[in-house]
């Protein structure tokens, strides 16, 4: 799910959709309006799920999408290799998620873990 807002209303630390990927805003630099043009904003972001850095430059009056990022809690049902089967504690939906190699040792069946969900994607939040 995503909402629409203007580029000029964005703030550092918030989220924005760039190339259909939810991203966290690192920096925003705004230029002054020129004689024949509008003020422009340069926004540097990093992808929540892929970690890729991106930047966009556009007028501050341009409409952009802001993703609805939710932090949720799930219970670990089972672990097989580097894939964990989780169940959301509120709506009891079951799903599988990849676990980084260095975090597998900390996960046990029955424990609760936090995860991030945005635009239909999920990621463990350590």
The helix/strand/coil state of 64 is strand
pLDDT at residue 81 above 90? no
Q: pTM for this structure? A: 0.80
Check whether domain 70-124 has CATH 2.40.50.140, yes or no: yes
How many Å apart are CA 97 and CA 81, to the nearest integer? 11
6 band by pLDDT with thresholds 50, 70 and 90: very high
- Distance, in Å, from the CA atom of 96 to the CA atom of 116, rounded to the nearest integer, reads 13
Summarised one tens digit per residue, pLDDT across range 91-123 is: 999 999 988 888 888 888 888 999 999 998 999
What's the confidence (pLDDT) of residue 73?
94
Where in the chain is CATH 2.40.50.140? 70-124
Query: What CA–CA distances, in Å, run from 114 to 34, 50, 74, 103, 117?
Result: 46, 18, 6, 13, 10
For 2-67, CATH number out of 3.40.50.2300, 2.30.30.30, 1.20.120.1080, 2.10.260.10 equals 2.30.30.30
Task: CATH 2.30.30.30 in the chain: give the residue spans.
Answer: 2-67
Return the residue matching tokens 């920096």: 27
pLDDT, mean over the chain: 90
| pLDDT for position 125 | 83
Q: Please, are residues 26 and 16 in contact by the beta-carbon 8 Å criterion? A: no
pLDDT for res 22: 93
pLDDT for 53 beyond 90: yes
Does the pLDDT value for residue 34 go beyond 90?
no
């Amino acid at each position: 799910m995503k909402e629409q807002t203007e580029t000029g209303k964005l703030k550092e630390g918030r989220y924005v959709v760039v190339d259909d990927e939810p991203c966290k805003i690192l920096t925003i630099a705004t230029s002054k309006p020129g004689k024949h043009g509008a003020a422009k904003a340069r926004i540097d972001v990093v992808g929540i799920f892929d970690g890729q850095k991106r930047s966009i430059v556009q007028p501050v009056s341009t409409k952009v999408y802001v993703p609805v990022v939710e932090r949720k809690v799930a219970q670990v049902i089972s672990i097989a290799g580097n894939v964990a089967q989780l169940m959301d504690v509120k709506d009891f939906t079951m799903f599988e998620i990849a676990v980084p190699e260095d975090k597998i040792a900390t996960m046990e069946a029955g424990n609760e873990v936090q995860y991030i969900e945005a635009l239909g994607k999920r990621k463990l939040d350590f």
